Amino acid sequence: MKNNLIKILPLIVIGFISFSVGAFFFQTDKENPITKDIIANAEKLIGLEFTDAERDSMLDGLKEQLGNYEKIREYNLANSVSPSINFNPIPLGFTFETKVHGFITADYSYTRIPENIEDLAYYSIGELAYLIKNKKITSTALTKMYLERLKKFGPKLECVITLTEDLALKQAKNADEEIAAGNYKGLLHGIPYGAKDLLAVKNYKTTWGAMPYKDQVIDEDATVIKKLEAAGAVLIAKLSMGALAWGDVWFGGKTRNPWDTTQGSSGSSAGSAAAVSAGLIPFAIGTETYGSIVSPSTVCGVTGLRPTYGRVSRTGAMALSWSMDKIGPLARNAEDCTIVLNAIQGQDGIDQTLYDVPLNYNSNAGIKKLRVGYLKDDFDRDYSFKRNDSLALEIFRKLGIELIPIKLPQYPINDISIMLSAESAAAFDELTRSNRDDLLVRQIKRAWPNSFRMSRFIPAVEYINASRIRYLLIQDMAKLMNEVDIIIAPSWEGDNLLLTNLTGHPCLVLPNGFSDKGTPTSISIIGNLFGEAEIILLGKAFQSASDFHLKHSPLWKN
């Protein structure tokens, strides 16, 4: 989750109306029974007031409820067990694209092999794919080059948890043999990549970036890992992440920003962004719940894509928030992101939140017919990226885009994010009850241990009512997206980041310049549900008219 974005909520509940993930606040033993006075004090935490008679009527029922909680806790609920209620991001009347029109990328035949193989470090997926397909370079040679860069620079950036060297060399060898035999699988065949270390990979540790799980081995491959293997991609490293998907601090250190190693890379897809930015891998897989792709992509100057909720399977990935988690790519440019998305999207027969919707990307399609809105009030404010964002808007206008001023629906966005707080506390219920949360490196107030404890006091009633408000938000967003196809937004200004994570809309984040301190900035393009092809198309046009995505820190050239 994005550094410093989550707003920890006040203690607002007591056990007698606790959500099934909540702990009961009081003991019922003979020395400390539940009393009317205890209930009266508890009312102050939830902003309600009952009469003395009402409190008296609750006593037996509250003791019974505590017994219910104790029985529930006897079940060993692994992080992989999802709730029986699935989040539905689909608004009333929404229609799905069903016809497959194909997947057409740009022409990369201009690509030439450099004299020094390490000069390939910053080539795009499309460019590397052209060289591999035409046997100008082998996957094995490319993989070895990136492995050496990971070994040399990974420790400096603290961005690698585990090198999967043996697996990578095996997969690269297989790719070379398949290609030599005429069995070319597509643009990812033989391309090395890294995965955020919340995706399970057989025979390798999956640490979730957290000390309590640093030796954890999950005996399965996540669906995304399987799909990339089927596409011929080569898994080269498991990359650092903020512990349990918050920030850039993990059990082995703090992932560094390749543009300024005195600073963190933001998170929680910290290693994914840093490694791509430093040319240690061509692309990486990250995840986003509330900014975890957008934020590190911004700080590290890479292009990141948060897909629509329900586009990519989360099977085999650590769960933080079942109604908000999404998996997506971080890469060199917009089209690289869609190349990866095309491989990892789709149903897997396990994740029940998935929708079968074709991507239908065509690099040759025009952008003039796209109805593009922009959040004028947010862009008009005084904020850190304002100058770069203003220049980016001018680039869009020069591309022939008429920018339509729009406003997002107005709802108490920060307040209904208690849903994320409750779900994350449920996902790591055992960690809290066992006190192993003390092992996490970050122990400040604005960190997971305290958040998980506080979230035990979120009432079921408030969680459900927050969900009902979220339903209304989804309907109003659908009305807005009937007026425009795409929304351009400041990446870190206003409510768009949290709001669109709550509604499940896709977002493409594009580098658009540098701050006064020399670190990258970005602008965001938000699409309709399953509208990734449109935002990639507009993002590609922006990058064709600018060179921000081609800028690289000189620290990692040799």
- List, for residues 393-409, the tens digit of each pLDDT value: 999 999 999 999 999 99
Cα gap 203→218, rounded to integer Å: 8
Report percent pLDDT > 70 for the chain: 94
The torsion angle over the Cα atoms of residues 142, 148, 153 and 159, rounded to 10 degrees, is 70
Task: Report which secondary-structure segment, H or E, holds 334.
Answer: helix 334-344
- As a whole number of angstroms, the distance between CA 156 and CA 160 comes to 10
* Sequence-ordered list of residues with C-beta below 8 angstroms from that of 468, at least 6 positions apart, any chain: none
- Residues 200-229 pLDDT 10s: 999 999 999 999 999 999 999 999 999 999
Report how far residue 557's alpha carbon sits from residue 432's, in angstroms, rounded to the nearest whole number: 44
Query: What local confidence, expressed as pLDDT, does residue 554 receive?
Result: 87
Q: Calculate ∠ Cα 284-210-456, nearest 5°.
A: 115
pLDDT value of position 292: 98
- 507-514 and 520-527 as β-strands: parallel, antiparallel, unpaired? antiparallel
Q: Rounded mean pLDDT of 92-118?
A: 96
User: pLDDT tens-digit profile of 438-492?
Assistant: 999 999 999 999 999 999 999 999 999 999 999 999 999 999 999 999 999 999 9
> Strand 372-374 relative to strand 403-405: parallel, antiparallel, unpaired?
parallel
pLDDT tier, 173 (very low <50, low <70, confident <90, very high otherwise): very high
* C-alpha closest to that of 325 among 426, 461, 462: 426
Query: 117-406+483-553: which CATH topology?
Result: Amidase signature (AS) enzymes (3.90.1300)
Q: Over 187-253, what HEC string results?
A: CCCCCEEEEECCECCCCCECCCCCHHHCCCECCCCCHHHHHHHHCCCEEEEEECCCCCCCCCEECCE
Confidence label for 32 from pLDDT (cuts 50, 70 and 90): low
Q: What is the pLDDT of residue 5?
A: 40
- Phi, psi of 422, rounded to the nearest 5 degrees: -65, -45
Structure tokens of 248? 């850039």
Q: Is the pLDDT of residue 10 over 70?
A: no
For every residue of 430-469, DSSP letters joined together read HHHHTTGGGGSS--STTSHHHHHHHHTT-BHHHHHHHHHH
Tokens representing 311 are: 């586009």
SS3 377: helix
Q: Are 200 and 317 in contact (CB under 8 A)?
A: yes
Answer yes or no: are the C-beta atoms of 494 and 413 closer than 8 Å: no
Write out pLDDT tens, residues 423-451: 999 999 999 999 999 999 999 999 999 99
Q: What is the DSSP letter of 403?
A: E
pLDDT tens for 498-517 read: 999 999 999 999 999 999 99
Which whole-number Å values give the CA distances from 539 to 260, 282, 298, 327, 530, in the listed order? 26, 18, 15, 19, 16
Taking alpha carbons only, the member of 499, 543, 557, 509 closest to residue 296 is 509
344-365 pLDDT tens trace: 999 999 999 999 999 999 999 9
Whether 290 and 1 have beta carbons less than 8 Å apart is answered as yes
pLDDT in tens, 271-281: 999 999 999 99
Residue 66's pLDDT band (cuts 50, 70, 90): confident
Q: To which residue do tokens 């929680």 refer?
A: 268
Q: Strand, coil or helix: what is 508?
A: strand
Annotate 205-214 with b (16+ C-beta within 10 A) or e (fewer): bbbbbbbbbb
Per-residue pLDDT of 318-341, as tens digits, reads 999 999 999 999 999 999 999 999
For residue 290, the cross-strand partners are: none
- The reported pLDDT for the residue numbered 555 is 85
Angle, helices 496-503/460-481, rounded to nearest 10 degrees: 100
- What is the per-residue pLDDT for 3? 44
Residues facing residue 284 across a β-bridge: 194, 330
Peptide bond into 268 cis (omega under 30): yes
| Structural domain spans, the chain | 15-88+418-458, 117-406+483-553
C-alpha triplet 205, 206, 208: angle, nearest 5°: 140
How confident is the model at residue 558, as a pLDDT?
A: 64
pTM of the model: 0.93
DSSP 489: E
pLDDT (tens digit per residue) in 108-151: 999 999 999 999 999 999 999 999 999 999 999 999 999 999 99
Q: What's the confidence (pLDDT) of residue 556?
A: 87
